[in-house]
Amino acid sequence: MSELRGVIVSHAAVAQALVAAVTAITGIEGVLTAVSNEGCGTEALGERLRQAVGQGPAVLFVDLPGGSCFSSSVRYAKQGGGGAELAVVTGVNLAMLLDFVFHRDISPADAARRAVDAGAKAIRVTGAPA
């Protein structure tokens, strides 16, 4: 089985920035690929996903639970993902990606569930008056 990779799918340059941040923090390169929907229709974004995913397996980390990045990612996975084993996570954040790059010896579905857990734990209110 090929090594599990992550593909971040976002509006504008969010994905690119997240990849750079993960590399800056961990020093790990080549595990995450950034895909932007900039200038893309559905067809072009699907092609960008196909190129980024390759043979997989992969987790697609999408910025929003709705919209063109989300619908294209789910559609690509639903239509077979070019033969790659895929899972889709929405609401990508840096915390879940940092956890993901160190825990990739599991299936895409398990990695997706783990990423959601790690990402959610990082969202909290601090420093606000009680």
Partner 1 sequence: MTLALYRVDDRLIHGQVVVGWGQPLDCSFIVLVDDEVSGSDWEQDLYRMGVPPTIEVIFASVEQAAAHLADWEADARVGILLVGDVDTAVALANRAPEVKKLNIGGVHHRAGRSERLRFVYLTDDEAAKLKQLAARGVDVTAQDVPTARAVPIGEFT
Q: For residue 58, list its beta bridge partners.
A: 5, 86
Instruction: State which of residues 17, 23, 54, 74 lies at the interface with partner 1 (CB under 8 A).
Output: 74
Q: What angle do CA 8, 53, 35 make, to 5 degrees?
A: 35
Q: Is 46 helix (H, G, I), strand (E, B) or coil?
A: helix
**Identified binder of partner 1 from the candidate list 1, 24, 43, 80, rule CB under 8 A:** 43
Please say which residue, 12 or 106, places its beta carbon nearer to partner 1: 12
By CB under 8 A, tell whether 42 contacts partner 1: yes
Give the residue carrying structure tokens 């569930």. Answer: 113
Q: Which lies closer to partner 1 via its Cβ, residue 7 or residue 69?
A: 69
| Lookup: tokens for 35 | 């895909």
Binding-site string for partner 1 from residue 89 to residue 118, where x marks contact by CB under 8 A and - marks none: ------------------------------
Q: How far apart are CA 40 and CA 18, in angstroms?
A: 20
**Binding segment toward partner 1, per CB under 8 A, in 25-33, 69-77, 99-107, 120-128:** 69-77
d(CA 113, CA 64): 17
CA distance 74 to 70: 6
Question: In the complex, which residues of this chain contact partner 1 (CB under 8 A)?
Answer: 11, 39-44, 64-68, 70-71, 74-75, 78
